[in-house]
Structure formats: structure tokens, C-alpha cells
Amino acid sequence: MAALIVTYSGLRIQTLNGFTGIHELPIIAQYGISIFIIIFLVNAYNFIDGLDGLAATIGLIIFSIFTVLFHIHGQQAYAVLCVSVIGALVSFLYFNFNPARVFMGDTGSLVVGFLIAICTLKLFNLWFTSPVVSFGPSLTIATIFILIFDLTRVVFIRVTNGISPFKADRSHLHHMICRQQFGHRGGTFIMAAFNILFIVLVLPLSKLRFITFLVFCFCVAILLMNSKVMSYVALLRNKITGAPESKMGVDRG
């Protein structure tokens, strides 16, 4: 209902500006694509809330980039909205970082995820109707790619194992990282580093088409964000620091 209200108010993808040869979208496609994006990103952000400080840290990175993009487009109202969320997340993170004293929960993650979805819709509308820089769509998708990849990966694993994609398990990226005994803090820093990596990749690959860049990001994520690579990183950490830190329980993802 929330997604329907937003799209009915006019905030929806109305044109793809020639992407995959498609320009103006029929009204049904506008609603379908826009509602799907909102529901997808709301759930993706909710899925990633499984470690102390993780959701807030990822949210800070996303809204920081969004603030810059909205400012470039002269959308000061949206820029102020993003800055307001940043202020809220910074204050929250002070008490949520491991060891956490307060938790985001569904009430927080669904609201923040909803705001991420709304800002993403607005940015894609801006890029498609009045592009300021050619790599704008790629930069937007890179900013939220960690959310996209985690949800896509989890759903794929669950479906291929014959499990409902809505059934909770420990197949999330942060669970995989914590199984290598990185703990809540280590898992949060690693996930944030990957988020920043995809954003930085936009600069040297700015001339790639949007869909090519998206496929490239998925390939990089599959190659780097897996248990084998994380085990090598953990082994390197153990050699440098000695005994690994104690394994911490992760039971909220």
C-alpha cells in the first residue's frame, strides 16, 4: 500500500530513455517496475540488518552518496532529506555499534529501506530525464549494489535448496563472513568496504553501459564475496594478529 501511494502520487519510473531500446513506458509497466523496486529495496535493507552497526553503516554510505547526487541535480529538498537521515543514523550508530545497546529492528529497517527506495526512484527518474553525467545510473546502482547482491544471493540459495525465499536462515553475506570469526565489528567493516569498492569502481569504468557495469559488479561480487575468499582473508588475519578473535553469535539476520 505504501508503494502504491508513492507511485500513484507520481514518483515512478516513466521512461527508460532508450535503455535496452525502451523509451516511454506504458502506465502498467510504470507502476509494476516502480512498486517492484520499492518492495525489493525495502526487503533488501531489512535483510542486511543482522549485525550490530551493519544496517546503519550501510545506510550512512548510501545516503551520503545520495546527498551528493541530489545536490548535483539541484534537488535540495531530497538532499536535505538524506542529510536528515544521516544525522539520525549517526546518532543511532553511536548506541548500535558493537556491543550494541539499542537495535534497529523492523520498525527502523523498513522505514530506512523505504527512504532508500524512494530516493533511488527519484534518482533514476532524474538520470533518465535530465542526465547530468553519463555514469549516473551506474553510480546509483553501485551505491545500493550490496543490498541488491545480498538479497539476490539469498533468494537464489534458498530456492535452489528447495526452501522458501521468505524462510529465515543463515545464508546472508554477513552470516558467511561471521562464520570466519570476524565478529560483528569485522563483518560490518568488511561489508562497508565492499559497498565502497563498488562505488569506487564506477570511476575507472564510467564509460561502460549501465547493464554492462551491473553484470560486471555481479561477477566481482561472486568472485570476492564468498566463503573461500573470506577464509583466506581470515587466515591472513590470523597470521598477522595471532589467535583469531572469539566467534560471536549472529542471530538477528
Mean pLDDT of 144-160: 91
Domains of the chain, by residue range, sit at 2-241
For residue 56, give the nearest of 33, 89, 81, 26 by alpha carbon.
Answer: 89
Helix axes 183-201, 136-143, angle to 10 degrees: 170
- What pLDDT is attached to residue 116? 97
3-state secondary structure of 171: coil
- What pLDDT is attached to residue 16? 74
Cell of 48: 542486511
- What pLDDT is attached to residue 178? 80
- What pLDDT is attached to residue 61? 96
- What pLDDT is attached to residue 234? 81
- What pLDDT is attached to residue 251? 42
- The predicted-structure confidence for 32-88, as pLDDT tens digits, reads as follows 999 999 999 999 999 888 788 889 999 999 999 999 999 988 899 999 999 999 999
Please tell me which residue, 99 or 18, carries the higher pLDDT value.
99
- The predicted-structure confidence for 133-144, as pLDDT tens digits, reads as follows 667 888 999 999
- What pLDDT is attached to residue 252? 44
Which uninterrupted H or E stretch holds 17? strand 15-19
Q: How far is CA 191 from CA 11, 13, 79, 161, 164, in A?
A: 30, 29, 25, 25, 25
> What DSSP letter does each residue of 40-104 carry, written as one string?
HHHHHHHHH--STTHHHHHHHHHHHHHHHHHHHTT-HHHHHHHHHHHHHHHHHHHHHSSSPSS--
- What pLDDT is attached to residue 246? 46
The residues facing 24 across adjacent strands are 15
Q: How confident is the model at residue 122 (pLDDT cuts 50, 70, 90)?
A: very high
- The predicted-structure confidence for 162-221, as pLDDT tens digits, reads as follows 888 777 777 788 878 887 777 788 888 999 999 999 999 998 988 888 888 999 999 999
